[in-house]
């Protein structure tokens, strides 16, 4: 992998960490006030974090941006990816359907996804 690949990976990870940190804080405020619009925005930030972490992980494996799949595949992380996308991106953000307990649990899953992507990216 060239020098730009490492920087791109780091940029994706940095955006993932920033997005998941903001998502958790915004979700906590939205849940307390029962603000579904803000809850949806927090959910979308968590989804963005997962998407960016996925890109970082794939880049760390030598996959170029042009080669990246629409949906990411591979065991447990793939299951989490699909669930997170469905609950946070599709339901909470696009449809405005917020189940506060499920969304909170799924944001926790997103935090774990970002953390795992960081760990896996470091080992490459």
Percent of the chain with pLDDT over 70: 77
Of the candidates 16, 4, 7, 27, the residue with the CA atom closest to the CA atom of residue 81? 16
Beta strands in the chain (DSSP E): none
Lowest mean pLDDT among 26-30, 60-64, 114-118: 60-64
Domain 3-122 sits in CATH 1.20.120: yes
User: Mean pLDDT in the chain?
Assistant: 82
Whether 2 contacts 62, CB under 8 Å = no
- 124 — pLDDT class (breaks 50, 70, 90): low
Domain boundaries along the sequence of the chain: 3-122
What are the pLDDT digits (tens) for 66-113? Answer: 555 444 444 567 777 888 888 998 998 888 889 999 999 999 999 988
């Amino acid at each position: 992998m060239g020098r730009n690949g490492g920087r791109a990976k780091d940029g994706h990870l940095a955006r993932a960490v920033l997005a998941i940190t903001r998502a958790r804080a915004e979700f906590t405020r939205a849940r307390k006030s029962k603000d579904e619009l803000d809850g949806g925005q927090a959910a979308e930030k968590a989804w963005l974090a997962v998407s960016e972490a996925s890109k970082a992980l794939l880049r760390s494996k030598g996959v170029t941006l042009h080669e990246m799949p629409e949906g990411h595949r591979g065991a447990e992380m793939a299951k989490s990816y699909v669930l997170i996308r469905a609950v946070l991106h599709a339901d909470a953000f696009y449809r405005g359907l917020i189940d506060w307990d499920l969304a909170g649990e799924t944001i926790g899953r997103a935090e774990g996804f970002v953390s795992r992507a960081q760990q896996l990216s470091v080992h490459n």
